[in-house]
Amino acid sequence: MCWKMPEIKADMGTLAWGRQQGEFSKGRLTKVEKLRILTNLGRMGMLEALDVLKGSVGLINTHGAELEGLQPPETALVHDALDFADEVQNLDLMRHSWRTYYFGMLLGGYRNLTVDREILFCAAILHDVGLASGRSSEPRDCCFVVHGAERCQHHLIGKGHDRAKVHRIADAIGLHLNGYVSEKTYGAEAHLLSRGAMCDVFDMGRRRIAPEVRKDISARHPKGNLADTLEIWPGHHLPGTRADFLIKLEPSRKKANRLSV
């Protein structure tokens, strides 16, 4: 009997994971990966519940900062990422991307995390580029985050940027829909991109940010109809992908919230 090397599975959401072939190609989830997302969402729910409890007894110290002091560095990589985002993303998608960046930076500040602003900004401003104009794949055909990560990598490498940096940006984009992204495993930038996006879409973590700063962000980058901006439409995404799975979970989440009130 010939012994076979066990197949090495790439981590859910990474570029390598998005490129796998077969039954679970194009970002489709295994049963184990679906369970992992549920676990991640449970972890986020517990963190939010702790924030609510701390806030109710005055034990949460909100973090605030002037937005001018949170700006990304003036680098060629930042300029090319922003130019690409401006070219293909509509106004509401751009505003969501900016809010995600600011929330990520502020949540990092709350925990005193060391952050590479260049990497975080490029990932944040392009994290939903898979939904932007000029896309070569539709959400019904492939996970839009998988496509977006590949699109980002192709564009930025085509501009001559460092492959290792671009790979970090693309992996952060691919990971952000996992519900929770470990900073120890994937770095502060990938962790904060996910946290920033969750804060903007679901308000998770907002209690950690000073109300006056949240108000300033909303004034500069007002939130429109996120359901349409992010194409959060039942039946619109490839069955079995993270977006499809999360959309199907939403009615249950709303019911649970109503029962807990």
| Rounded Cα–Cα distance for residues 258 and 261 (Å) | 5
**CA-CA-CA-CA torsion sign (141, 179, 221, 159):** negative
**What percent of the chain stands above pLDDT 70?**
93
- pLDDT 10s digits, 48-98: 999 999 999 999 999 999 999 999 999 999 999 999 999 999 999 999 999
Q: Which pLDDT value is given to residue 251? A: 59
Q: Report the amino acid identity of residue 31.
A: K
Predicted confidence at residue 259, as pLDDT, reads 28
For the chain, list the domains and their CATH numbers: 74-251 (1.10.3210.10)
Rg of the chain's alpha carbons, rounded to an integer?
18
Give Cα separations from 67 to 54, 123, 218, 237 (angstroms). 26, 18, 12, 35
The three-state DSSP-derived secondary structure of the chain is: CCCCCCCCCCCCCCHHHHCCCCCCCCCECCHHHHHHHHHHHHHHHHHHHHHHHHHHCCCCCCECCCHHHHCCCCCHHHHHHHHHHHHHCCHHHHHHHHHHHHHHHHHHHHCCCCCCHHHHHHHHHCCCHHHCCCCCCCCCCCCHHHHHHHHHHHHHHHCCCCHHHHHHHHHHHHHHHHCCCCHHHHCHHHHHHHHHHHHHHHCCCHHHECHHHHHHHHHHCCCCCHHHHCCCCCCCCCCCEHHHHHHHHHHHHHHHHHHHC
Q: How far apart are CA 101 and CA 106, in angstroms?
A: 9
Mean pLDDT calculated for residue range 240-258: 74
Dihedrals φ, ψ of 158, to 5°?
Answer: -60, -25
How sure is the predictor about 190, in pLDDT bands with cuts at 50, 70 and 90?
Answer: very high
CA 117 to each of CA 142, 153, 179: distance values in angstroms, whole numbers, following the listed order = 29, 18, 22
Yes or no: say if 71 and 59 are a contact pair by the CB < 8 Å rule.
no
Q: Which two tokens stand for residue 83?
A: 């130019």
pLDDT exceeds cutoff 80 at 21: yes
Answer whether residue 138 shows pLDDT above 50.
yes
- Average model confidence (pLDDT) across the chain: 93
As a whole number, mean pLDDT of residues 195-205 equals 97
